[in-house]
Structure 1
Amino acid sequence: MGMVLFTIALVPLYDVFCEVTGLNGKTATSAQVMSAQGRDETRWVRVQLVTRSGTGLPWRLEALDQVIAVHPGEIAQARFRFTNTSDVRSSGRAVPSVSPSQGARHFRKMECFCFQEQWLEGGESIELPLVFQVDPALPADIQTLTLAYTLYPMSEVVAQGGYRE
């Protein structure tokens, strides 16, 4: 019985651990408060946008803006194109990860297609935005953040217990 309770408690404990340490590439969301500091125009941070499609989903995901230079505290936008290369309607979800992991807690997505499942008709292509901000409290030695999205079929995301931002 003790092992069952331990197993049940493990997932929420892992989420708390990742939130506190910034490990696992989880990022801040719009509901979480950024540093009270304003825009830091004395430095730039490079944000690299990387995409890949997981197995089992006949979609392409492209970052139309592959590298963006931002001042910490500045609100920025990037564009992504989703294309369903099959002839049938299907759904998928983009799961993000930020590296280095120490920078993940300083990356806030204000508007993101990754917040919800996406549906595309066969052959359909759409462009969706990502609106984000890098916290001015990002350590000065981190000059580049890489935001990677992996696109999964929705059935796989659900089978893994869902994705929580």
Structure 2
Amino acid sequence: MSTPSHQETRGLNRKMLGKLIVIAVLMFGFGYALIPVYRQICEVMGINVLTQKDGTVTYDNNTQVDTSRSITVEFDGNAQGPWRFRPVVSSMQVHPGELVTVMYEIVNTQPRTMHAQAIPSYAPQSATPHFKKVECFCFQQQTLKPNEARQMPVVFFLDPALPKDVKTITLSYTFFEIAGLNQTAAAPAEKPL
């Protein structure tokens, strides 16, 4: 067997490079062409259609929202410490399955930074497993600077499996200072003797 010359090897490498470039261009073109093909398939089948034929945009309704009933959700805020803490609205009507956002206001009335945590409670107790929070300031500790005021969201929905006899739910938060964090931060470090 004879080994290919340097010239033959270069020629083979160029042929292979040309084939690889053609394959890469074809793959890119195929992927790019799939976008309108998928749009057409979805439009024909009625799947996830956001644009009507006349060009207007529509949004699919959440089919999990139970519009046949409304639940009154009452909001309450209690402060254990030097805070002003309250919900922006005291109550609202919510359909089970509907995504809702409500705001709470907190004001640190002290001239020092404070660390705090909010603990929720629900009434009636039977509603607790059906009250689903997506986002909440109660998920983590809050640090408020001196005299800082802040609005914090609670994003939630009521599980459509909520018992039919529940007509009113109260969401109550108790906002309290975290003991130990503030005292250790404020206390000067002791020097060893």
TM-score, normalised with respect to structure 1:
0.69
What is the CA-CA distance between 1:155 and the residue it aligns to? Answer: 2.1
Q: Does 1:52 align with 2:78?
A: yes
SS in 1 for 2:121: strand
Aligned pairs for 1:5-154 (under 5 A) are: 38-54=64-80, 57-154=81-178
TM-score, normalised with respect to structure 2:
0.60
The 1-side partners of 2:134 and 2:178 are apart by: 22
- Counterpart amino acid of 1:101? Q
Percent sequence identity over matched residues? 36
Deviation digits for residues 11-30 of structure 1 (CA, Å, limit 9, x no counterpart): xxxxxxxxxxxxxxxxxxxx
Indicate the RMSD between aligned Cα atoms, in angstroms.
1.5
Decide which structure has greater strand share: 1
- Counterpart amino acid of 2:67? E
Deviation digits for residues 47-73 of structure 1 (CA, Å, limit 9, x no counterpart): 10011012xx21111100210111000
Deviation digits for residues 98-147 of structure 1 (CA, Å, limit 9, x no counterpart): 11000110000100000000011111101011000001100111000000
The 2-side partners of 1:155 and 1:117 are apart by: 12
The 2-side partners of 1:99 and 1:119 are apart by: 28
The 1-side partners of 2:169 and 2:178 are apart by: 27
5+ residue gaps in structure 1? 1-36, 157-165
SS in 2 for 1:142: coil
What is the CA-CA distance between 1:153 and the residue it aligns to? Answer: 1.0
- Counterpart amino acid of 1:149? Y
5+ residue gaps in structure 2? 1-62, 181-193
The 2-side partners of 1:73 and 1:155 are apart by: 38
Task: Count how many residue pairs are aligned between Structure 1 and Structure 2.
Answer: 119
Regions of 4+ moved over 2 Å: none
